[in-house]
Amino acid sequence: MRTRPAARAGQYAALLAYLIFLAFPFLWLLSTAFKPPRELGSLHPTWIPRHPTLANFRQAFEEQPLLHAALNSLLAALGAAVVAVLVATPMAYVMARHRTRLARAASGWVVVSQAFPFVLIIIPLFLVLKRLRLIDSLAGLTLVYVVWSLPFALWMLVGYVRAVPAELEEAAAVDGAGRVRTLVSVTAPLLAPGIAATALFAFVTAWNEFFFALVLLKSPGNQTLPVVLTHFIGAEGVADLGPLAAAAFLATLPSLVVFALLQRRITQGLIAGAVKS
Amino acid sequence: MRTRITTAVAALLLLLAGCSTGGTRDDGRITLRFQSLAWQQESVAANKELVREWNAAHEDVKVEYVQGNWDGVHDQLLTSFEGGEAPDVIHDASDDLADFAYGGDLADLSGLLPERLKSDIPQRSWQATTFGKGVYGVPFLQEPRVLVANSAWLRKARVRIPTPGHPWSWDEFRRITAQLSGEGRYGVAWPLKEPVSVTLNLGLSAGGTLFERGSDGKVTVRFGAGDAVVPRTVHDQVARDRSAPASTLGSGGSDTLPGFFGGRYAMVPLGFSYRQQIEQQAPKGFEWQVLPAPAGADGLTQGVSPQTLSIAEDCTHKKEAAAFIDFLLRPKNMVRLALGDWMLPTGTQALADPALHTAEHGWATGTALAGHLRPAPAQSVRGYPEWKDKIATPAYQEYYSGAIGLGELRKRLEEDGNLVLARYQR
C-alpha cells in the first residue's frame, strides 16, 4: 500500500506536534532551571533564558543534599524493581499457565488491591513496619515499594507469559529438554522484554513515590529525592521556583537514562502479544 | 548465571541494610528531634544555625534538625503520632493543631514554658493555640495580608496612599481600584485559589464573624452584614467595575506576580512573606511598596494562623524540649527567625527590634499591623475543613465569578454549612 506524499507529510507533522506536546513540560523545566529569578517573574517568558545562569543548580545543591537523596531514591527504586521482578515472574508464570480457580481469584485480588488509597493503608503499614523495626530505613521503604508494585507487576507479567506460545515449551519438552532447561532456554529469552518493561514500571513507580517516603522516613540522611524536592515549597504552595526546577530537572535524568538503556527491550515488551499467533 | 544473580541480590540487600539507621544513637545524651518546616534559604540557615548554637552550649541535650515540609505535614504527623514515632519538637501552623490537641497527641505546654516566654507573647496569640483548657503550641511567627502596590502607578494616578494610621476603607479601596483600571489594566488582582481563609480573615476588619458560638458551646454559621463587606467588594470589583480580572480568581499568589511586574495590575493582596519573592523576582527599577489591607468597622483587624512550636505527648524529655523552644524564641533569636521567613514575630520584645521597623521592603508597615492580628475565626471550629471544602469554597468561587448572587451565597453558607457543622457537634 503506497502512501501519498501529502498524507505522509501530514503524518510527520502530527507526529512532530505530538512529540512537542510530550516534550513541552520537560523543556520548560529545563528552561526554568537556567533562568535567573527576575526572568521567572516575567509576564512574557522566553524559551531560551536571556541571561542563563547556573545559580539555581548551585543553590539547590547548597541548600539540600540532592546527591545523597538521589542515591537513596536509586537504591530504593532499584531494590524495588529487582525484588518485584524476582518475586512476580514465577508467580506470573504459574498464574498464566495453570488457570485454576486460585489463579483467577488471585487475578481478581490484584485488580481490587489497586483500588486501595494510600491513606487507608498507611497507618497499619506504619505499625507493621515499626514492629519489624523497619521504620526510617531504606530497606523498609523498599519492602513497601515491592509490595505496592507487585500486583501491577504481576498483572503485566501474566500478560507477557500468555503471549509466549505454550506450544514452544511443549516442542522443547518433545525435544528432550527438562522443565528448568525449557524455562531458562526457551521461555526466559522470550519473556525478557516483558520483564524489562515490568522492572522499569516498578523502578519509575518507586523513583517518583512521595507519600510513603514522607511518612516512613524520619532521618534527614534517609530521605528520598521526591521528599527533598518539597523542601523548596512553602506554605500555601509558594515555591522557590528556580532551585526547584533545577532539582526537579536533575531528578528526571535517572528515569530517562533507564528508559534509554532499556528502550529496545521495553518496546518489544509493550507490543508483545499484540499480534495473535 | 545463577551465582551472579544471587550475588547481586545479596549485595543489594546488604547495601540497603547498611543504609538504615537502625534506631536512635545511644551516646548517653538526650537527643531531641526537631522537625522544622522552614523552607526559604535564609530561614533554613537561621534555624540550622540556632540548632548548632544550642548543641554547642548544651552537651547533655542534643537537638537533631529534621527538615519537614508543608506539603503533607498533617498526614505525616498523623501517622507518626499513631505509630508513636513523632518528632519531639514540632513546627506547624495553629490551624492544623486542633485535631492533634483534642486527640491527645500534643503535650499541654501550660506548665512547661517559662514565664518570660508566656508574658512576652500577647494573649490574643496564645488564643490561637489554646484548645479546651490546654495550650498546645507556642505561636511565634505570623503574617498579615497586605496590599503590595506598584508605587509608580499609584503616584502617577495621584491616589491617596494609605498608612496603618489612616488606611483605606473598603469603599474607598473599591473606588480607587476602579480609578486605576482601564484598557486591559486592573486596579487589583485577587489571587483567590483559597478563597475561604482570605475572605474570613480579611472579613474580621468589617466585623464579620460568620461563626457564632452559642451558650451550649455549639457553633453555627450566621452570615451577617459584616460578613458581606469583603465578598461584596471583591465580587463588585470583578463583575461590575471590571477593576479586578476574573482570570486570577483561581490563581495562587505567585501566579499573579508576572502580571504585577508586567504592569497589568496596580495592586495584589498577598501574605506579608511574599515580599521575599517580589524582591527576588521584580525587574530592575520596578518600584513597589507595602500598603495595609483596607479597614472596616473594626479597623485593621484581620485573622491569622500563626506558625507554632509544639511538643509531642510521647516525648520523654518534655522539660528539655520546652527549654529548647524557649532558647529558639528568645527575642534576638525570634528576630532572626522572623527576618529569615520575612514574617512578623509574635513576641513583643522581638517585634520592637529596630531591624523590623525599617521602611525598606515594607517592614514598618507590617509591624504596625501586628497589634491588629487575631486568631483566624475558623481555626477552632470542629468540622471547619469539611465545611470549607464542600460548602464554602465552591460557594465563594461561584459568587466571586458572578455565577450566583449574595442571597444564594448566604443560603449555601448558612443552610448547607450548618448541616455539615451539626454532624460534628452532636
Q: pLDDT tens string for chain B (426 positions)?
A: 444 444 444 444 444 444 333 334 456 789 999 999 999 889 999 999 999 999 999 999 999 999 998 988 988 999 899 888 899 999 999 999 988 999 999 999 999 999 999 999 999 999 999 998 999 999 999 999 999 999 999 999 999 999 999 999 999 999 999 999 998 999 999 999 999 999 999 999 999 989 998 888 889 999 999 999 999 999 999 999 999 999 999 999 999 999 999 999 999 999 999 999 999 999 999 999 999 999 999 999 999 999 999 999 999 999 999 999 999 999 999 999 999 999 999 999 999 999 999 999 999 999 999 999 999 888 778 888 889 999 999 999 999 999 999 999 999 999 999 999 999 887
Contacts of A211 in chain B (CB under 8 A): 72, 75
Chain A residue numbers with beta carbons less than 8 Å from the beta carbon of B254 are: 237-239, 241
Interface test with B, best of A238, A240, A241, A244 (most B CBs within 10 A): A238
Residue of A nearest to B282 (CA): A38
The three-class DSSP label of residue B220 is: strand
Element (H, E) at B321: helix B318-328
Q: Which of B186, B198, B310 is nearest to B260 (CA)?
A: B186
The whole-angstrom separation of Cα A42 and Cα B280 is 12
Scan residues 93-132 of B and list those with Cβ closer than 8 Å to A: 93
* A221 contacts in chain B (CB < 8 Å): 21
Q: Which helix (H) or strand (E) holds B130?
A: strand B130-131
pTM metric for this prediction: 0.86
B33 chain-A contacts, CB cut-off 8 A:
218
Q: Which residues of A touch B93 (CB under 8 A)?
A: 235
Q: Does B264 touch chain A (CB under 8 A)?
A: yes
Nearest by CB to residue B16, choosing from A123, A142, A210, is A142
At residue B90, φ and ψ (nearest 5 deg) are: -120, 125
Q: How many CB atoms lie within 10 A of CB B214?
A: 9
Q: What is the pLDDT along chain A (277 residues), one digit of tens a residue?
A: 566 888 899 999 999 999 989 899 999 999 999 999 999 888 888 999 999 999 999 999 998 999 999 999 999 999 999 999 999 999 999 888 887 888 788 778 877 877 777 777 888 888 889 889 898 999 999 999 998 899 889 988 998 999 888 888 888 888 888 888 888 888 888 898 899 889 999 999 999 999 999 999 988 899 999 999 999 998 877 888 999 999 999 999 888 888 888 777 666 655 554 444 4
How far away is chain A from the Cα of B241, in angstroms, using its nearest Cα?
24
Cβ distance of B16 and A139 shorter than 8 Å: yes
> Of B9, B37, B274, which is closest to A82 when you measure between CB atoms?
B9
- Residues linked to residue B246 through DSSP beta bridges, in sequence order: none
| A43: closest chain B residue by CA | B258
Question: What's the rounded Cα separation, in Å, for the pair B240 and A163?
Answer: 64
In terms of phi and psi (left: phi > 0; alpha: psi -120 to 50; beta: otherwise), the region of B271 is beta
For chain A, say whether B69 makes contact (Cβ under 8 Å).
yes
Cβ contact, residue pair A238, B252, below 8 Å:
yes
Mutant choice from A32, A214, A233 vs B, greatest count of B C-beta within 10 A: A214
Which one of B7, B69, B78 would you mutate to disrupt binding with A, by most A Cβ within 10 Å of its Cβ?
B69
Residues in chain A closer than 8 A to B13 (CB atoms): 79, 139
Contacts of A42-50 with C-beta under 8 Å, sequence gap 24+, read A42/B258, A42/B261, A42/B262, A42/B283, A43/B258, A43/B259, A43/B261, A43/B262, A43/B263, A43/B264, A44/B262, A45/B258
Kind of pairing, strands B30-36 and B89-93? parallel
In sequence order, which residues have a C-beta less than 8 Å from that of residue A167 and are 6 or more positions away? none
Name the CA radius of gyration of chain A, rounded.
23
